[in-house]
């Protein structure tokens, strides 16, 4: 099941909301700390019913799309549960390595087996491809299990003695299949005990609607524009068409992925969880280094804290550490060499930036830095989009006027005007314009006049209702709109 | 190091006012959410889409197999989203909303849908090289999954159909009739352009045809001539489509020349096959209603000029248009609405579908209807049934082009009161359906055979019926589509 789906919105969400509310009511009545004496006596018992409801719905959610692989996920959690317990007992590095090897083996077999065999076959072998179907979200949930082992090993978080609670951490449906990669120490406490205020539900639901709108209103429409130009014969494109196509994809992937993160964070908040942010207006970055602090933050920080720093960070062989991290970042995105190329491309740029731009950054006018960054980011999406290296070459050729249609043609002009409002709205949503408006709303809750508060509340409500109605309309009849990041 | 956007557990206690703001917001949005949710769940689910002319998804059947393959759950999601109550109305709103994403330029008013790139100018294959018929022919048909329908599937309209002349004898439309999976759009199109505004709005399918299929197309017609021998006249009529005459200059690079392709077919016909050049007469009448504006077909008057040309080439008498009665289906919005991704301009500018019924001709049309399975493949044939050649559609029906024989999946024998020893068979796509009415005074019998629905050996069938003239009437798209050639090849051997 995916979030941008009528069945999810209008059947699954109401069902989980009603059950969760009921469970919360019963939890408060039966397991409230006040009725059991000391607050610290049985911390796990604060919300067993709520956690149970979430686990059941999460498994249902996953099994909806993966009726068989749901067993794989549960099995993986069982293994990690026992490894976690062992780690808690003796903090042994050997146990940690054993656990990591297990998790890497899982993702290796189910995500990279074909890729590995294909690569080996390039050397002249003829091993048949295993052709194992990719379980949805495996890249996300195995990274979460690894984060759990790391955090327990390092003592950043206490071991989870309740299997159901660990299963909840891994399988929680808001972030299960497309992130953000929630690290165990982020929500370890909230799994055991959490509060939910009106503010949480109001903010969470609004955040969810923003994400839904990003996906359904912006990303889905942009995908028509991008596929118009990128999915056909790229040698027939004019430079204008090629740039429009890749610009549309640049916007599409951001709204698609950050929209999903918004929905995840929003739903999490409604259930009382506070996930870390995953995006922070990445396209306003002035350097590539900054871009990667703003784009898919949960992945970047995962590699930083669990690979880069343990390898020695900037103290020992930093260039090697950087390249390893970026090789892995690329590979994480897909079992194909173009993703590796894409990762290494950014690794090299970031390394070069360390010795050049970052040192003289203040002396360069910022608009030049923005143009520089955007150019490299957009160019990166070319490497990311085409899995076929020959097509990458052809497309780059067309981008610079080497295609059959030259520099600019009627098709580009027509696509530009017939999508102009969409493009302008998308660009506006890439800059912190919304945050600016949002600040008025936040102020109105405290310092502004009551009239202004009423106006802002009305504005927010109308905005939310418009997002919901427009998204629902656009979803009708649109049965095929998977999230891009589901395949990673 | 990690970015902390929210200070966890230190969220300032919301003020009373903030709490009221939150409650007002939450209650309102919940109301909207529940209203939509209830609408989606309580009202009866849609079963047929008139807009897309197809049956909507059915609730999947549960088996262990479908469950474990994921088909079952996926089927439920699809069913839920596909069959929402008031689907067609909501879809129209949805497409109107989509249309807000930009504007079409002031003067030219051109909107493109799915146009991928320029059409590469073609150089002619060298004359000396042997045409490679097998290669293009063996290519799989392009988009067989697209459903467009020329056959009456939508039940509501079908009920209003009655025969033109006998008035109250309705033609039975078998329930099994599935959407015609193979019609016009498994073809080499290069996207759709909607041009003009108001009553001049016209949706055009851009042409992406290529020479190598055209050559194969000519060769297969030559084979028919060879197989049928001297006693039978074989004609080839490749019909240009609207894009050839109504496409604005800006789109020249995106639609290949049909004239070039038609001429290329003619060049590759053997000397014994007679080419019927309908391009010239059509190009002389472009200010008349010879093509529909909102459908991918031509209009009755276009077929009249084409039939006139054919009669001239075939040397048969021809009735003037004044001997026909003009009929109209008002408020017609044809298939291009679907092909243009529901462009509101097409929807909002319906046309009058005009056709002509001969006044003083006695004829009987015998229908041999094919029964089609759910996937559109032939599963059997219904008992022969007599009826009018013209089916009556009510105003506003999107199926008005089915006026001619009610669609494609059938063989129709028309016996006329003409007595000149000439008996015609037409191998055709849906364009060909509009031609026979003008030839009732020209041939004793006309057998109409669709290129997608024919299960006999062509030569045997033609000989058994004493055919003297065979006309291949296909539009320029089909003449450039590999599957067309494959169908005709198969008819010779099946």
Alpha-carbon distance A371 to nearest alpha carbon in chain B (angstroms): 25
**What does the buried/exposed string (b/e) look like for A277-297 if buried means 16 or more CB atoms within 10 Å of the residue's CB?**
bbbbbbbebbbbbbbbebbbb
Per-residue pLDDT at B313 exceeds 90: yes
**What does the buried/exposed string (b/e) look like for A226-237 if buried means 16 or more CB atoms within 10 Å of the residue's CB?**
bbbbbebebbbb
CB count within 10 Å of CB B91 equals 20
Per-residue pLDDT at B126 exceeds 70: no
CB count within 10 Å of CB A243 equals 18
pLDDT tens-digit series, residues A74-83: 999 999 999 9
Burial (CB < 10 A; 0-12, 13-18, 19+), residue B157, is buried
Q: Is A2 helix (H, G, I), strand (E, B) or coil?
A: coil
Residue A333 known to be catalytic? yes
Give the residue from chain B lying closest to A194, CA to CA.
Answer: B9
Per-residue pLDDT at B279 exceeds 90: yes
pLDDT at position B112 is 73
pLDDT bucket at B152, cuts 50 / 70 / 90: very low
pLDDT at position B288 is 93
Q: What is the mean pLDDT of residues B360-364?
A: 87
The answer to whether B33 contacts A199, with C-beta atoms less than 8 Å apart, is no
- Lookup: tokens for A328: 């892995």
pLDDT at position B160 is 34
B 17-56 → A contacts, CB under 8 A: 17-19, 21-26, 28-29, 32-33, 36-37, 40-41
pLDDT tens-digit series, residues A245-279: 999 999 999 999 999 999 999 999 999 999 989 99
Distance CA B227, CA B247 (A): 40
Q: What is the mean pLDDT of residues B98-126?
A: 63
B 233-272 → A contacts, CB under 8 A: 250-251, 253-254
Q: Is B487 helix (H, G, I), strand (E, B) or coil?
A: helix
Q: What is the mean pLDDT of residues A187-208?
A: 88
- Lookup: tokens for B461: 């069938």
Element (H, E) at B480: none
Alpha-carbon distance A218 to nearest alpha carbon in chain B (angstroms): 10
The answer to whether A276 contacts B117, with C-beta atoms less than 8 Å apart, is no
pLDDT at position B176 is 28
- Lookup: tokens for A254: 């951001």
Give the residue from chain B lying closest to A422, CA to CA.
Answer: B101
Q: What is the mean pLDDT of residues A360-368?
A: 85
Q: What is the mean pLDDT of residues A362-391?
A: 90
pLDDT tens-digit series, residues A4-16: 888 899 999 999 9
The answer to whether B3 contacts A293, with C-beta atoms less than 8 Å apart, is yes
Q: Find the helix packing angle between A69-90 and A93-121, rounded to 10°.
A: 140
pLDDT at position B219 is 92
Which of B19, B96, B101, B107 would you mutate first to test chain A, the one with the most A CBs within 10 A? Answer: B101
Alpha-carbon distance A27 to nearest alpha carbon in chain B (angstroms): 21
pLDDT tens-digit series, residues B180-221: 333 333 334 568 888 888 888 899 888 877 777 888 899 999
Which of A1, A417, A473 comes nearest B97 by C-beta?
A: A473
Distance CA B193, CA B112 (A): 4
Distance CA B58, CA B374 (A): 13
Which of B26, B33, B93 comes nearest A198 by C-beta?
A: B26
Per-residue pLDDT at A116 exceeds 70: yes
Residue B198, sorted as left (phi over 0), alpha (psi -120 to 50) or beta, turns out to be left
pLDDT at position A19 is 94
pLDDT bucket at A477, cuts 50 / 70 / 90: low
Per-residue pLDDT at A366 exceeds 60: yes
Which of B17, B101, B117 comes nearest A421 by C-beta?
A: B101
Which of B37, B102, B208 would you mutate first to test chain A, the one with the most A CBs within 10 A? Answer: B102
Whether chain A has a CB inside 8 Å of the CB on B97: the answer is yes
Which of A68, A415, A477 comes nearest B91 by C-beta?
A: A477
The answer to whether A198 contacts B101, with C-beta atoms less than 8 Å apart, is no
pLDDT at position B239 is 94
Residues on chain B touching A419 (C-beta within 8 angstroms): 101-102
pLDDT bucket at B336, cuts 50 / 70 / 90: confident
Q: Pick the range with the lowest mean pLDDT from A277-286, B117-126, B174-183, B352-361.
A: B174-183
Give the residue from chain A lying closest to B254, CA to CA.
Answer: A411
pTM confidence score? 0.78
- Lookup: tokens for B383: 């008992």
- Beta carbons of A196 and A46 less than 8 angstroms apart: no
Alpha-carbon distance A64 to nearest alpha carbon in chain B (angstroms): 6
- Beta carbons of B220 and B268 less than 8 angstroms apart: no
- Lookup: tokens for A222: 């942009």
The answer to whether B116 contacts A228, with C-beta atoms less than 8 Å apart, is yes
Average pLDDT, chain A: 86
Burial (CB < 10 A; 0-12, 13-18, 19+), residue B70, is middle
Whether chain A has a CB inside 8 Å of the CB on B123: the answer is no
pLDDT at position B157 is 35
Residues on chain A touching B120 (C-beta within 8 angstroms): 236, 404
The answer to whether A67 contacts B68, with C-beta atoms less than 8 Å apart, is yes
Per-residue pLDDT at B45 exceeds 90: no
Distance CA A38, CA A48 (A): 17
Q: What is the mean pLDDT of residues B159-169?
A: 34
pLDDT at position B189 is 58
Which of B14, B36, B111 comes nearest A197 by C-beta?
A: B14
Per-residue pLDDT at B149 exceeds 60: no
Average pLDDT, chain B: 79
Element (H, E) at A339: helix A337-355
Alpha-carbon distance A452 to nearest alpha carbon in chain B (angstroms): 11
More confident residue, B342 or A150: A150
More confident residue, A114 or A32: A114
Q: What is the mean pLDDT of residues A335-352?
A: 90
What string of DSSP letters covers A269-298? HHTT--PPP--S-GGG-SSHHHHHHHSSHH
pLDDT bucket at A484, cuts 50 / 70 / 90: low
pLDDT tens-digit series, residues A18-42: 999 999 888 888 876 554 444 444 4
pLDDT at position A224 is 86
Q: B310 phi and psi, to 5 degrees?
A: -65, -45
Residues on chain B touching A465 (C-beta within 8 angstroms): 28-29, 32
Give the residue from chain A lying closest to B83, CA to CA.
Answer: A477
CB count within 10 Å of CB A438 equals 14
Which of A59, A150, A198 would you mutate first to test chain B, the one with the most B CBs within 10 A? Answer: A198
pLDDT tens-digit series, residues A213-249: 999 999 999 988 888 888 878 888 888 989 999 999 9
pLDDT at position B6 is 46
Distance CA A162, CA A48 (A): 10
pLDDT tens-digit series, residues A150-197: 888 888 888 888 898 899 998 888 888 777 888 888 888 888 888 888
pLDDT bucket at A354, cuts 50 / 70 / 90: confident
pLDDT bucket at B116, cuts 50 / 70 / 90: low
Alpha-carbon distance B122 to nearest alpha carbon in chain A (angstroms): 13
User: What ipTM does this complex have?
Assistant: 0.83
Distance CA A156, CA B290 (A): 78
Q: Is the peptide bond before A446 cis (omega within 30 degrees of 0)?
A: no
pLDDT at position B474 is 93
pLDDT at position B47 is 82
pLDDT at position A417 is 86
Per-residue pLDDT at B154 exceeds 50: no
Residue among A444, A443, A464, A439 at smallest CA distance from A455: A444
More confident residue, B442 or B133: B442
What string of DSSP letters covers B165-229? SSSS-PPP--TT----TTSTTSS-EEEEEEES-GGG-EEEEEE---HHHHHHHHHHHHHHHHHH-
pLDDT tens-digit series, residues A43-64: 445 788 889 999 999 999 988 8
Which of B15, B21, B78 comes nearest A479 by C-beta?
A: B78
- Lookup: tokens for A482: 């998977």
């Amino acid at each position: 099941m995916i979030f941008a789906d009528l069945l999810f919105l209008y059947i699954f969400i109401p069902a989980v909301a009603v059950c969760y509310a009921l469970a919360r009511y019963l939890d408060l009545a039966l397991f409230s700390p006040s009725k059991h004496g000391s607050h610290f006596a049985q911390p796990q018992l604060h919300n067993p019913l709520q956690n149970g409801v979430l686990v059941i719905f999460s498994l249902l959610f996953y099994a909806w799309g993966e009726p068989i692989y749901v067993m794989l996920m549960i099995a993986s959690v069982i293994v990690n549960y026992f490894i976690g317990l062992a780690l808690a007992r003796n903090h042994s590095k050997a146990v940690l390595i054993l656990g990591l090897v297990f998790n890497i083996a899982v993702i290796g077999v189910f995500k990279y087996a074909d890729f590995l065999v294909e690569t080996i076959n390039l050397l002249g072998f003829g091993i048949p491809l295993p052709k194992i179907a990719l379980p949805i979200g495996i890249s996300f949930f195995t990274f979460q299990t690894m984060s759990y082992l790391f955090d327990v090993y390092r003592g950043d978080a206490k071991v989870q003695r309740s299997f159901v609670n660990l299963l909840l951490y891994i399988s929680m449906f808001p972030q299960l299949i497309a992130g953000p990669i929630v690290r165990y120490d982020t929500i370890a406490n909230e799994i055991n005990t959490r509060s939910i205020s009106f503010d949480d539900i109001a903010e969470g639901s609004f955040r969810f609607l923003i994400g839904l709108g990003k996906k359904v209103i912006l990303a889905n429409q942009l995908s028509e524009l991008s596929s118009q130009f990128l999915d056909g014969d790229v040698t027939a494109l004019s430079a204008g068409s090629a740039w429009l196509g890749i610009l549309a994809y640049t916007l599409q992937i951001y709204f698609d992925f950050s929209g999903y993160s918004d929905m995840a964070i929003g739903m999490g908040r409604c259930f009382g969880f506070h996930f870390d942010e995953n995006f922070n207006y990445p396209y306003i970055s002035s350097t590539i280094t900054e871009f990667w602090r703003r784009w898919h933050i949960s992945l970047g920080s995962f590699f930083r804290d669990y690979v880069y720093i343990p390898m020695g960070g900037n103290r020992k062989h930093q260039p090697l550490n950087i390249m390893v991290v970026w090789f892995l970042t690329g590979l994480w995105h897909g079992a194909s060499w173009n993703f590796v190329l894409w990762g290494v491309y950014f690794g090299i740029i970031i390394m070069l930036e360390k010795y050049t731009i970052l040192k003289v950054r203040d002396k360069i006018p910022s608009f030049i830095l923005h143009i520089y960054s955007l150019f490299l980011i957009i160019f990166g999406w070319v490497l990311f989009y085409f899995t076929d290296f020959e097509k990458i070459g052809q497309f780059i050729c067309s981008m610079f006027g080497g295609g059959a249609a030259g520099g600019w043609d009627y098709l580009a002009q027509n696509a530009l005007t017939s999508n102009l409002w969409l493009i302008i709205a998308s660009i506006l949503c890439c800059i912190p314009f919304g945050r600016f408006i949002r600040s008025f709303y936040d102020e109105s809750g405290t310092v502004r006049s009551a009239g202004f508060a009423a106006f802002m509340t009305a504005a927010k409500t109308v905005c939310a209702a418009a997002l919901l109605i427009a998204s629902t309309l656009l979803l009708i009849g649109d049965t095929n709109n998977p999230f891009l990041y589901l395949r990673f | 190091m990690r970015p902390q956007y929210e200070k966890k557990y230190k969220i300032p206690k919301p003020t009373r006012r903030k709490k009221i703001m939150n409650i007002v917001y939450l209650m309102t949005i919940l109301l909207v959410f529940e209203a939509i949710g209830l609408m989606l769940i309580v009202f009866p689910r849609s079963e047929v889409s008139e807009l897309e002319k197809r049956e909507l998804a059915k609730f999947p059947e549960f088996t262990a197999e479908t469950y474990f393959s994921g088909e079952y759950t996926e089927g439920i999601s699809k069913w839920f989203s596909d069959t929402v109550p008031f689907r067609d109305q909501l879809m129209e709103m949805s497409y109107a909303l989509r249309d807000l994403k930009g504007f079409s330029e002031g003067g030219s008013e051109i909107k493109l849908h799915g146009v991928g790139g320029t059409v590469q100018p073609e150089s002619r294959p060298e004359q000396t090289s042997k045409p490679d018929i097998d290669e293009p022919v063996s290519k799989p048909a392009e988009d067989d999954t697209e459903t467009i329908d020329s056959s009456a599937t939508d039940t509501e309209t079908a009920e209003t159909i009655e025969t033109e002349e006998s008035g109250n004898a309705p033609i039975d439309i078998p329930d099994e009739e599935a959407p015609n999976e193979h019609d016009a759009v498994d073809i080499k199109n290069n996207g759709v352009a909607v041009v003009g505004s108001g009553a001049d709005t016209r949706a055009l399918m851009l042409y992406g045809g290529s020479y190598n299929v055209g050559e194969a197309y000519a060769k297969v017609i030559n084979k028919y001539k060879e197989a049928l021998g001297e006693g039978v006249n074989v004609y080839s009529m490749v019909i240009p489509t609207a894009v050839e005459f109504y496409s604005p200059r800006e789109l020249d690079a995106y639609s290949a020349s049909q004239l070039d392709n038609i001429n290329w077919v003619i060049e590759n016909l053997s000397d014994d096959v007679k080419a019927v050049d309908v391009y010239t007469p059509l190009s002389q009448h472009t200010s008349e209603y010879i093509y529909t504006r909102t459908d991918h077909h031509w209009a009755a008057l276009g077929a009249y000029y084409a039939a006139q040309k054919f009669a001239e080439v075939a040397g048969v008498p021809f009735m003037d248009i004044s001997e026909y009665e003009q009929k109209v289906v008002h408020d017609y919005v044809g298939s291009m609405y679907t092909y243009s991704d529901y462009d509101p301009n097409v929807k909002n500018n319906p046309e009058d579908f005009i056709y002509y019924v001969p006044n003083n001709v006695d004829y009987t049309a015998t229908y041999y209807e094919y029964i089609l399975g759910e996937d559109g493949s032939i599963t059997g044939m219904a008992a022969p049934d007599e009826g009018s050649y013209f089916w009556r559609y009510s105003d506003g029906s999107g199926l008005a082009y089915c006026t001619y024989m009610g669609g494609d999946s059938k063989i129709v024998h028309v016996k006329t009161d003409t007595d000149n020893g000439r008996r015609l068979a037409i191998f055709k796509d849906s364009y060909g359906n509009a031609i026979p009415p003008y030839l009732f005074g020209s041939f004793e019998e006309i057998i109409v055979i669709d290129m997608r629905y024919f299960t006999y050996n062509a030569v045997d069938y033609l000989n058994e019926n004493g055919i003297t003239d065979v006309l291949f009437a296909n539009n320029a798209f089909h003449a450039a589509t590999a599957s067309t050639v494959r169908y005709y090849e198969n008819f010779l051997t099946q």
